[in-house]
C-alpha cells in the first residue's frame, strides 16, 4: 500500500524537478544542486559509518589509557560501563548514529569537553590557515607554472622546473623549521612560533584575520597576519609545486591550442593572449585548489603542532595519539563534511566558469 | 596458433620498446638510482666516525666541527653518523611501502578498469577513502598495527598510495580499452585476464614507473612526518623525521644543525626521486 502511494509522489517530484530545469538558464544548475544535496546525507551516513567502524576496530583500550598506569582494574571496568564500551556492536553503532543525527558528537575522553565545542573553537583557526596557505600556493604556483609554460622547453622553463622540484621535495614541517631558524631567529622578522596572536591579546582563537579585518582593528589584524606568515608560507611554498605543475601543463596546452594561435594571428597583444589562455586553463587549476583544500584539512596537522596553532589538525593528531575515540570520529566527520562541501562548490563554480560543462 | 612472422614481429617490438631506457636522456634516472642505492648501502656498510646509537654525554649540542662534522644533538648523539645510518632504514622502508602499494594497487586498478559496474563500485570505495584525512588515518592505522614495530609504517604508506596507483592504472586502462589492438585481442578470444596482464599492463608500465618514483618520494615524507610525531623507530635507532623533531626546539635558539642536516637528507633523496619521475615522464610524453 505504501509503495503504491510513494510512486505518484515520486512522479510528482520528478515532474516538479523537470519544471525547475526548464524554467530558465539557472534551471539546470538548480536541478543539479538539488540532486547533489539530496546525496549529501547518504555520503554523511557512509562517512559516519566508516568513522565508527575504523575506531571500533581499534585494538587499544581507551579506558586503559584514560586511567593511566596508576589505574586499577576496577577503574577500567567503571569507565567501560560509563562509556558504554561493553555494549555490542549494533547497540553502539545505533547509539552513535542517533547521537550524530542529533548533533551530539560525544565528549572527549581526556579534555572532558563536548567535541562540538572543541570543533567550534579549533576549526576557525584551521580554516583561516588553510585559506591563507592556498592563496600563497596559488599565487606562487600559478605564476611559476604559467611562466614555465610560456617559455616551454626553453631556458626559463628549465629554471622554473628546478624551482618546482625544490618546492615539491621539501617536507612542509622541515621548511617550517628552516623558516623558524632564518626568519625568526636570524632575521627577527617574525613573531615567536607559538600561537595565533601576541601573548597578551584577549582573543587567541577564532577568525582572527578575517574578523579583525572587517572590524577595522588594524593593529590586531597586523598581529594575526604576522603570526600567520610562517606557517602559511611553509605550507604555501610546498603545495605551490602542485599548482605550478598543473598550471604548467594546462597553460602550455592552452598556449599551443588553435584558438590562441588564431588570437595571435589576429594581432592581439601578448597580455590579452595570456588572459585568454588562462581562461581555458583555469578549470584544472581550480580543481586542484579544491582537492588541496581537502588534503590540507588534517594534512597541515604537523605544521599546526609546530606553531601551536590550536587548529583541528593539531587537535585530531593529539586525539589519535591518545586514542581519544570521540575526537577522532568528530574530526573524520568534520573533514568529510568540509571535503564534500568544497567539491560541491567546485562543481558549481566550474560550471559557471566553463560553459562546456553541463549538469546532466 | 602463433605463426613465425608474428612472433618475430613482436620480438622486434619488444626490443624497441625497451631501447628508450638506455639512451642519454635517461642519465638523470641512472644517476638518481645510483645515488640512492649508494646512500642506502653506505648507511649499512661504511664505518661511521661515531656509534649512531651511543651518545657522547660530555659533548651535547656541539656545533659542526672537524670532530663532529654535523655537530651533536641534545643528548650528545653524533648527527653525521645518525644521518647516514638513518638512510639504510628510511629508504628501504619507503621502497617496501611503495612496492606493497604497487602490488596491491595495480591489480586492483586493472580489475577496476574493466567495463561494467564492478569498476565503478571499486572506484566509489576508493573515493570515500580519498575524502579522509590521510595523515590522521595513518596514525590510526599504525596504532592499529602496533606503534613500536617500524614496519607497520608500511600500512600508512599503502593507504595513501594504493588509491593513486588504482586511479592511474584505471584511467590509462580505460583509455586503452578503446584501442584497436585490445579489440583485436577480444576478437581472437583472449581471456580478460590475458588482456589485462599481457596487453594493458605492458602499455601502462611506463606511467606506473613514474608513479613508483613519485610514491617513493611521498613515502619518504610520510615516514618522516610520522617519525616527527613520534611514530616509527624506537628511540635510540636513528630516523630522519625523529632527528628533525629532536632538534626542533633548539631552532628558535639558533642551534640549527640538529634539525637541518637530516632535513636536507630527506630533501636530497626526495628531490632525486622527483627528478627520476620527471625524466621518465617527459620520456613517455615524447614517445
Q: B64-77 burial string, b = 16+ CB within 10 Å, else e? A: eeeebbbbbbeebb
Residue B151 predicted with pLDDT over 90: no
Nearest-CB residue to A332 (from B132, B224, B225):
B132
pLDDT at A6 (0 to 100): 44
Question: At residue A107, what are phi and psi to the nearest 5 degrees?
Answer: -120, 135
pLDDT in tens, chain A (360 residues): 344 444 455 566 667 767 766 666 667 777 777 877 787 788 888 888 888 887 777 666 667 767 666 667 777 777 777 777 777 778 888 888 888 888 888 888 888 889 999 999 999 999 999 999 999 999 999 999 999 999 988 899 999 999 999 999 999 999 999 999 999 988 888 888 877 877 767 677 778 888 888 888 888 888 888 899 999 999 999 999 999 999 999 999 899 889 899 999 999 988 999 998 998 888 889 888 888 888 888 788 899 999 988 899 999 988 888 878 888 889 988 888 888 888 888 888 887 787 776 665
Cell 567535541, residue? A115
Q: Are A196 and A100 contacting, i.e. CB atoms less than 8 angstroms apart?
A: no
Least confident range of A121-130, A192-201, B102-111, B189-198: A192-201
Nearest-CB residue to A316 (from B136, B144, B270):
B136
Nearest-CB residue to B266 (from A50, A161, A171):
A171
Q: Is A336's Cβ below 8 Å from some Cβ in B? A: yes
Give the Cα separation of A290 and A338 in Å (integer).
Answer: 10
Q: Is B226's Cβ below 8 Å from some Cβ in A? A: no
Chain A: closest CA distance from residue B203 (Å): 22
Q: Quick one: cell of A291?
A: 582537492
The number of angstroms, rounded, from the C-alpha of A74 to the middle of its chain's C-alpha atoms is: 42
Q: Among candidates A322, A313, A344, which has minimal Cα distance to A39?
A: A344
Q: Are B160 and B138 contacting, i.e. CB atoms less than 8 angstroms apart?
A: yes
Q: Quick one: cell of B15?
A: 626490443
Which pLDDT band holds residue B11 (cuts at 50, 70, 90)?
very low
The 3-state DSSP class for residue B219 equals helix
pLDDT at B175 (0 to 100): 84
- Mean model confidence pLDDT for chain B: 83
pLDDT at B6 (0 to 100): 45
Q: Is B251's Cβ below 8 Å from some Cβ in A? A: yes
pLDDT at B57 (0 to 100): 75
Question: How many Cα atoms within 13 Å fall on the side-chain side of residue A340?
Answer: 21
The 3-state DSSP class for residue B117 equals helix
Q: Which residue is closest to A337 within chain B, CA to CA?
A: B131
H helical segments located in chain A:
2-21, 27-57, 62-67, 73-83, 89-101, 115-150, 155-169, 172-179, 208-214, 218-255, 258-265, 270-299, 301-306, 312-321, 325-353
Give the Cα separation of A346 and A357 in Å (integer).
Answer: 12
Q: Which of B146 and B176 is assigned the larger pLDDT?
A: B176
Residue B5 predicted with pLDDT over 60: no
Give the Cα separation of B237 and B173 in Å (integer).
Answer: 43
Per residue in B242-268, pLDDT tens?
999 988 888 888 888 889 999 999 999
Domains in chain A (CATH in brackets) are 52-104 (no CATH), 121-353 (1.10.3720.10)
Give the Cα separation of A259 and A251 in Å (integer).
Answer: 13
Give the Cα separation of A208 and A125 in Å (integer).
Answer: 8
| CB < 8 Å from A in window 263-282 of B | 263, 266-267, 270-271, 274-275, 278
Q: Which of B67 and B15 is assigned the larger pLDDT?
A: B67
Q: Are B284 and B210 contacting, i.e. CB atoms less than 8 angstroms apart?
A: yes
The number of angstroms, rounded, from the C-alpha of B212 to the middle of its chain's C-alpha atoms is: 6
Chain B: closest CA distance from residue A127 (Å): 15
Residue-wise DSSP of A256-297: TSHHHHHHHHTT--HHHHHHHHHHHHHHHHHHHHHHHHHHHH
pTM for the model = 0.85
Classify the C-alpha dihedral B272-B275-B281-B284 as positive or negative.
negative
Q: Is B224's Cβ below 8 Å from some Cβ in A? A: yes
Q: Are A278 and A285 contacting, i.e. CB atoms less than 8 angstroms apart?
A: no
Classify the C-alpha dihedral A137-A139-A141-A144 as positive or negative.
negative
CB contact under 8 A, B135 and A166: no
CB contact under 8 A, A335 and B132: yes
Residue-wise DSSP of B224-284: HHHHHTT-SS-TTS--HHHHHHHHHHHHTTT--HHHHHHHHHHHHHHHHHHHHHHHHHHHH
Dihedral over alpha carbons A197, A203, A206, A209 (to 10 degrees): -50
pLDDT at B37 (0 to 100): 93
Chain B: closest CA distance from residue A165 (Å): 6
Share of chain B above pLDDT 70, in %: 88
Chain A: closest CA distance from residue B187 (Å): 34
CATH number of B8-42+69-286: 1.10.3720.10
The number of angstroms, rounded, from the C-alpha of A207 to the middle of its chain's C-alpha atoms is: 16
Q: How many CB atoms lie within 10 A of CB B40?
A: 18
The number of angstroms, rounded, from the C-alpha of A182 to the middle of its chain's C-alpha atoms is: 28
Residues in chain A closer than 8 A to B275 (CB atoms): 165
Give the Cα separation of A227 and A322 in Å (integer).
Answer: 28
Give the Cα separation of A311 and A231 in Å (integer).
Answer: 12
Give the Cα separation of B35 and B269 in Å (integer).
Answer: 9
- Domain chopping of chain B, boundaries: 8-42+69-286
pLDDT at A134 (0 to 100): 95
Q: Which residue is closest to A313 within chain B, CA to CA?
A: B136
Residues in chain A closer than 8 A to B131 (CB atoms): 47, 294, 335-336, 339-340
pLDDT at A162 (0 to 100): 92
Q: Is A183's Cβ below 8 Å from some Cβ in B? A: no
Cell 636530497, residue? B268
pLDDT at A304 (0 to 100): 92
Q: Report the phi/psi class of residue A46: left, alpha or beta, with left for phi > 0 and alpha for psi in -120 to 50.
A: alpha
Chain A / chain B CB contacts < 8 angstroms: 123
Q: Among candidates A218, A185, A173, which has minimal Cα distance to A309?
A: A173
Amino acid at each position: 500500500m505504501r509503495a503504491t502511494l510513494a510512486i505518484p509522489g515520486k512522479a510528482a517530484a520528478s515532474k516538479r524537478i523537470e519544471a525547475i530545469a526548464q524554467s530558465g538558464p539557472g534551471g539546470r544548475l538548480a536541478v543539479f544542486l538539488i540532486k547533489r544535496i539530496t546525496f549529501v546525507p547518504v555520503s554523511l551516513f557512509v562517512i559516519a559509518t566508516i568513522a565508527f567502524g575504523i575506531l571500533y576496530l581499534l585494538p587499544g583500550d581507551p579506558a586503559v589509557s584514560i586511567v593511566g598506569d596508576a589505574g586499577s582494574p576496577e577503574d577500567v571496568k567503571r569507565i567501560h560501563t560509563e562509556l558504554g564500551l561493553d555494549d555490542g556492536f549494533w547497540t553502539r553503532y545505533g547509539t552513535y548514529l542517533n547521537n550524530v543525527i542529533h548533533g551530539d558528537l560525544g565528549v572527549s575522553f581526556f579534555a572532558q569537553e563536548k567535541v562540538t565545542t572543541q570543533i567550534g573553537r579549533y576549526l576557525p583557526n584551521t580554516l583561516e590557515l588553510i585559506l591563507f596557505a592556498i592563496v600563497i600556493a596559488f599565487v606562487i604556483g600559478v605564476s611559476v607554472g604559467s611562466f614555465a609554460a610560456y617559455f616551454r622547453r626553453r631556458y626559463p622553463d628549465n629554471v622554473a622546473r628546478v624551482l618546482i622540484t625544490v618546492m615539491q621535495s621539501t617536507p612542509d614541517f622541515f621548511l617550517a623549521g628552516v623558516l623558524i631558524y632564518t626568519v625568526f631567529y636570524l632575521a627577527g622578522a617574525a613573531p615567536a612560533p607559538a600561537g595565533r596572536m601576541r601573548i597578551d591579546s584577549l582573543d587567541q582563537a577564532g577568525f582572527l584575520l578575517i574578523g579583525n579585518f572587517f572590524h577595522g582593528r588594524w593593529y590586531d589584524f597586523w598581529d594575526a597576519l604576522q603570526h600567520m606568515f610562517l606557517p602559511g608560507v611553509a605550507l604555501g611554498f610546498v603545495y605551490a609545486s602542485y599548482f605550478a605543475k598543473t598550471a604548467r601543463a594546462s597553460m602550455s596546452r592552452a598556449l599551443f591550442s588553435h584558438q590562441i594561435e588564431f588570437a595571435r594571428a589576429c594581432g592581439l597583444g601578448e597580455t590579452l593572449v595570456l588572459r585568454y589562455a588562462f581562461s581555458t586553463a583555469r578549470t584544472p587549476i581550480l580543481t586542484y585548489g579544491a582537492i588541496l583544500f581537502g588534503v590540507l584539512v588534517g594534512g597541515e596537522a604537523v605544521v599546526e603542532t609546530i606553531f601551536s596553532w590550536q587548529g583541528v589538525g593539531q587537535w585530531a593528531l593529539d586525539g589519535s595519539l591518545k586514542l581519544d575515540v570521540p575526537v577522532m570520529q568528530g574530526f573524520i566527520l568534520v573533514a568529510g563534511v568540509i571535503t564534500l562541501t568544497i567539491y560541491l562548490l567546485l562543481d558549481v563554480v566550474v560550471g559557471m566558469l566553463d560553459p562546456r560543462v553541463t549538469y546532466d | 596458433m602463433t605463426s613465425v612472422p608474428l612472433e618475430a614481429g613482436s620480438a622486434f617490438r619488444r626490443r624497441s620498446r625497451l631501447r628508450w631506457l638506455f639512451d642519454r636522456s635517461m642519465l638523470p634516472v641512472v644517476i638518481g638510482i645510483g645515488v640512492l642505492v649508494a646512500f642506502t648501502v653506505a648507511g649499512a656498510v661504511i664505518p661511521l666516525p661515531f656509534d649512531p646509537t651511543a651518545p657522547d654525554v660530555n659533548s651535547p649540542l656541539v656545533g659542526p666541527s672537524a670532530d663532529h662534522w654535523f655537530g651533536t644533538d641534545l643528548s650528545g648523539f653524533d648527527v653525521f653518523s645518525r644521518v647516514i645510518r638513518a638512510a639504510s632504514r628510511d629508504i628501504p622502508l619507503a621502497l617496501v611501502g611503495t612496492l606493497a602499494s604497487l602490488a596491491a594497487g595495480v591489480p586492483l586498478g586493472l580489475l577496476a578498469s574493466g567495463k561494467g559496474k564492478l569498476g565503478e563500485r571499486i572506484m566509489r570505495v576508493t573515493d570515500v577513502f580519498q575524502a579522509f584525512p590521510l595523515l590522521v588515518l595513518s596514525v590510526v592505522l599504525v596504532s592499529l598495527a602496533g606503534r613500536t614495530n617500524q614496519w607497520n609504517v608500511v600500512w600508512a604508506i599503502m593507504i595513501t598510495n594504493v588509491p593513486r596507483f588504482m586511479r592511474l592504472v584505471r584511467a590509462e586502462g580505460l583509455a586503452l580499452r578503446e584501442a584497436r589492438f585490445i579489440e583485436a585481442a577480444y576478437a581472437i578470444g583472449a581471456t580478460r585476464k590475458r588482456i589485462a596482464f599481457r596487453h594493458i599492463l605492458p602499455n601502462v608500465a611506463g606511467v606506473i614507473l613514474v608513479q613508483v618514483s613519485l610514491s617513493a618520494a611521498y613515502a619518504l615524507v610520510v615516514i618522516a612526518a610520522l617519525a616527527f610525531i613520534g611514530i616509527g623507530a624506537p628511540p635510540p635507532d636513528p630516523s630522519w623525521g625523529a632527528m628533525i623533531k629532536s632538534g626542533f626546539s633548539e631552532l628558535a635558539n639558533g642551534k640549527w644543525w640538529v634539525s637541518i642536516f637530516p632535513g636536507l637528507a630527506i630533501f636530497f633523496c626526495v628531490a632525486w626521486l622527483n627528478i627520476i619521475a620527471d625524466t621518465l615522464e617527459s620520456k613517455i610524453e615524447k614517445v
